[in-house]
Amino acid sequence: MVKLTKNALKVLEKRYLRKDENGKVIETPEQMFRRVASNIAKADEKYGGDVKKTEKEFYDMMVNLYFLPNSPTLMNAGTSIQQLSACFVLPVEDSMDKIFETLKHTALIHQSGGGTGFSFSRIRPKGDIVRSTGGIASGPVSFMKVFNSATDVIKQGGRRRGANMGILRVDHPDIMEFITCKEDPKELTNFNISVAVTDEFMEKVKKGEDYELINPRTGKAVKKLNAKEVFDKIVEEAWKTGEPGLIFIDEINRHNPTPHVGQIEATNPCGEQPLLPYESCNLGSINLSKFVKNGEIDWEKLKDITWKAVHFLDNVIDMNKYPIPEIKKMTLANRKIGLGVMGFADMLIQLNIPYDSNEALELAEKIMSFIQKEAKQASVELGKERGSFPNFKGSVYDGKYPAMRNATVTTIAPTGSISIIAGCSSGIEPLFAIAFVRNVLDKEDRLYEINPYFEKIAKEMGFYSEELLQKIADNNGSVQGLEEVPIEVQRIFVTALDISPEWHVRMQAAFQKYVDNATSKTINLREDATIEDVRKAYMLAYELKCKGITVYRYGSRPQQVISAKEEKEERGIIKPRPRPPVVRGVTRKIATGCGNLYVTMNEDEHGLFEVFARLGKAGGCADAQLEAVGRLVSLCLRSGVKPEEIIKQLKAIRCPNPLLARGGPILSCPDAIAKAIEDHIKGREVLVPARLDEFEKKAKQKEMTELKITDKAPVGVCPDCGSPLVYEEGCRVCKQCGYSTCG
């Protein structure tokens, strides 16, 4: 019987377990693992293998949470969909028919559960001539917006939403428009963006020299820009919004295993998988938290799981149902797989090693070099048994190895959902938080989440208490500086924001040294980090031979950051006060004619600060309108408007479905919001339904759920469960239900 956490079960039931036509779950987690193991093992029939033996091996390593494949494999293996790959790269050529052919292929991929990456560098710049029509080109950013809009209306099999990576070379004439294209948070919401920078550009940045912009239509230089000024703009935008990231395109192609097939121009949505046009890659991760016994790493077990995982991922290639023929052809020609890790922070804790230490960097290299070596050898043996990948001749392996089944074998990918299923830390990221309070809409008690390793140590050492959990939650989930926590424990239990950007970059580089593809890692910066801190992180990533870099400065995404110059120019204009890292508040449940309304009211040191309103499990127009009301109310509160004035505007608005409640009728959702705010500022008891049995029930229990947003990096509210989103591994992720903007 698999041992799963409550969160793991929630995620599985919501997205992974099979359901009948009425949406009822008809599969247990064990049955899911059996379905996947049975389906993937069938590939052995093609090669004369023992299918039953293989199925048992695959099932055992999944059910014991030693290894999990990427989400599409867990969701779709053994179903009618059977699309098993997570990431794809599609070409974007400079013609209208080719662009919209790619858009069609994108829709098919998103519908089947994959994410897509594109380089828009081949598209002619804005203002360039279009000879076929005599018109003027609109440029790559305009076409990105078309792709973004299409993604908005496509659901990935109903369980994963489309995600894209947009890349533009730094020498494209439209590079400055691209760098700033996500300043407005409402633009390109389905895209991560990265600038593909060359070695030449980076060296010119150091020297402050100019470089040429090349029109991709003609191949000729059209203009020069100062490299340092362009780099400064990239850094400034990344400081403001977290984007664009950088892709070190020359470093990527230095490690291209099949240069005779083509040059790599793009990556998948999170940047960890550089791919040729029409290539796909299936990924999986080893749970490192499971390989520590009595303070030592179980290397034999790690070797065993590595070999079995390579076997599993290679089988996925044969069992996959590809969205379009071009992808099938290219994927089978190179047979790339990406075996990575999760639970690294948990492993460090079990070994009493601080994340931000040289010892941790050394362990990262030791672990990944071991997995890389064993994965390569496993691929060699598979190549001997089954044949090398078709493009082996002429590849970097030709003449170096007798055979090679897979052009690549390792990748460090985001593991947002599968790490929740496995009950471990995400990828190679540090801990998200030591303790925090969950936002549970239908629960009345405060629900603390605490790191199990910390809880165990705290209880063994005798400093565990409910009061301590409260203090940790109030301290952004960190134990740093808390008197109750011994210094040696503080040193081990560090969170993402406790760690300097340099250590984040160095950890990424340590893993990258022994990874075929690339490494997904968010470089976290504190809210008071400077533009210079971002610049140093980007330059260090280049110097340490990373293949890309993504930064996220705490609090930079909820609203547009105004520069110092703009602040001086706009002193006469009322500007909302910024959102602090931590706010306190309550969530009130109010029965309305439209269903249960949850009104969350948060405060900062000045008083009522923001309001969120949500109707139970409703969606669509009703929730959209409530979100709009909440945003406007919050904007007013942050701009100094008194709550009484807001109450006056909302109170007594009527809808067709009023409801009688204790304290008076609830005329509409806006009316309920007004009364919730009024009760909040006056300290009244919460409104409850007028039914006697409900009244008696609620009289015994407080109708109040405390909400503390104590994320390391709040970037909005989860559309599925209402919990705060955090920025991790290049994605906005919900730690409660596993929702991710990257699918």
Give Cα 72 distance to the centre of its chain.
Answer: 15
Question: Do strands 548-553 and 522-525 pair parallel, antiparallel, or not at all (unpaired)?
Answer: parallel
In the set 76, 164, 237, 270, the catalytic residue is 270
In whole angstroms, give the CA distance from residue 627 to residue 631: 6
Which pair of structure tokens corresponds to residue 6? 């409550």
**Which of 264, 138, 118 minimizes the C-alpha distance to 191?**
118
Question: Do strands 659-661 and 664-666 pair parallel, antiparallel, or not at all (unpaired)?
Answer: antiparallel
Written in H, E and C, the secondary structure of 442-502 is: CCCCCEEEECHHHHHHHHHHCCCCHHHHHHHHHCCCCCCCCCCCCHHHHHHCCEHHHCCHH
Determine the residue type at 542. Y
- Tokens 């041992």, residue located: 3
Q: What angle do CA 252, 513, 546 make, to 5 degrees?
A: 45
**Which of 407, 493, 501 minimizes the C-alpha distance to 458?**
493
Cβ contact 665:679 at 8 Å: no
In whole angstroms, give the CA distance from residue 117 to residue 730: 14
In the set 268, 334, 476, 517, the catalytic residue is 268
Element (H, E) at 626: helix 620-638
Cβ contact 85:231 at 8 Å: no
Which pair of structure tokens corresponds to residue 571? 């002193």
- Tokens 């099949």, residue located: 258
Rounded to the nearest 5°, which phi and psi values hold at 348?
A: -60, -45
Written in H, E and C, the secondary structure of 139-151 is: CHHHHHHHHHHHH
Which pair of structure tokens corresponds to residue 77? 């293996």
Which pair of structure tokens corresponds to residue 661? 């409640």
Q: Integer distance in angstroms from the first to the last C-alpha of the chain?
A: 28
**Which of 118, 16, 17 minimizes the C-alpha distance to 70?**
16
Helix axes 358-386, 501-512, angle to 10 degrees: 30
In whole angstroms, give the CA distance from residue 632 to residue 635: 5
566 given a catalytic annotation:
no
181 given a catalytic annotation:
no
Q: Which residues pair with 70 in a beta bridge?
A: none
164 given a catalytic annotation:
no
In the set 272, 429, 610, 729, the catalytic residue is 272
Q: What angle do CA 728, 190, 710 make, to 5 degrees?
A: 30
In whole angstroms, give the CA distance from residue 266 to residue 117: 6
Cβ contact 88:210 at 8 Å: no
Alpha helices in 165-298 (DSSP H): 175-179, 199-207, 227-241, 249-254
Q: Which whole-number Å values give the CA distances from 544 to 508, 511, 512, 540, 550, in the listed order? A: 9, 11, 9, 6, 15
Written in H, E and C, the secondary structure of 663-700 is: CEEECCHHHHHHHHHHHHHHCCCCCCECCHHHHHHHHC
Q: Which whole-number Å values give the CA distances from 595 to 281, 319, 615, in the listed order? A: 44, 45, 7
Q: Which residues pair with 574 in a beta bridge?
A: none
In whole angstroms, give the CA distance from residue 552 to residue 560: 14
Determine the residue type at 384. K
554 contact partners, CB below 8 Å, separation of at least 6: 497, 524, 525, 526, 527, 529, 581, 712, 713
Active site residues: 268, 270, 272
